A = this chain, B = another copy of it.
Amino acid sequence: MAGAPRPGGRSAKVRAAVLGAALAELVDAGYHGLTLDGVARRAGVHKTTVYRRWGTRETLLLDAIRERAQTHVPIPDHGSLRADLFDLARAAIANLRTPEVGALVRAAVALAPHDPAVARAGTAFWSERLGVDGTVVERAVARGEITGTDPREVIEAVLGPPYFRVLVTGEAVSDAFLRRVVDRVVDGLPKPGRR
């Protein structure tokens, strides 16, 4: 994994070029067709740069998806749990629906049972990412909107149903659906005589 190079520096530019090339190469060549040599060629950098800095396909793709999530799925802070969860889910699903992230996630789902390196990279990514996403829940607890609850599991409750649609059932994920998912997570099911 690369360190945290100065943004805008030469090192940061190389990193951005390589991570972008990794996702593009994944879409074009498929998971098993992706090689560090191919990524280096596409990024216009020397292959030893890629080997030295990332070493394996899994490390490279883990770094690429991490970077991608950071830039495409920012952590909202609207002062409202509902608004924050909605924005987060919307951005996460838009990201999942891009060819690059779609290809990576679907390949990981198919390969994880047979390839421990893929399984480890996926679990590492989500372990970090659910912690970051959980910030919106922690802030809601701090504001007194809700009382203590597991922030990661709230994020899983919000992302689970639209991920299930995109990956498994193939049903459409509209903004209206995402609003209903968020409302259901916050409010639960409607009970008789409670308004």
Is A54 in contact with chain B by the CB < 8 A criterion? no
- Contact assessment for A156 and B163 in the assembled complex, using a CB-CB cutoff below 8 Å: no
- Contact assessment for B107 and A170 in the assembled complex, using a CB-CB cutoff below 8 Å: no
A46: B residues at CB distance < 8 A: none
Known: A110-B110, A149-B189, A189-B186. A170 touches B119 (CB 8 A): yes
Interface size on A, residues (CB 8 A): 51
- Contact assessment for B185 and A109 in the assembled complex, using a CB-CB cutoff below 8 Å: no
Known: A106-B109, A184-B185, A189-B186. A123 touches B169 (CB 8 A): yes
Is A24 in contact with chain B by the CB < 8 A criterion? no
In whole angstroms, how far apart are the Cα atoms of A185 and B157 in the complex?
A: 8
A81: B residues at CB distance < 8 A: 189
How many of these chains are in the complex? 2
A153: B residues at CB distance < 8 A: 161, 177, 180-181, 184
- Contact assessment for B146 and A156 in the assembled complex, using a CB-CB cutoff below 8 Å: no
Is A134 in contact with chain B by the CB < 8 A criterion? no
- Which chain B residue lies CB-closest to A156? B161
Known: A110-B107, A149-B189, A188-B187. A130 touches B169 (CB 8 A): yes
The residues in A between 111 and 161 inclusive whose CB is less than 8 angstroms from any CB of B are 112-113, 119, 122-123, 126-127, 130, 144-150, 153-154, 156-157, 159-161
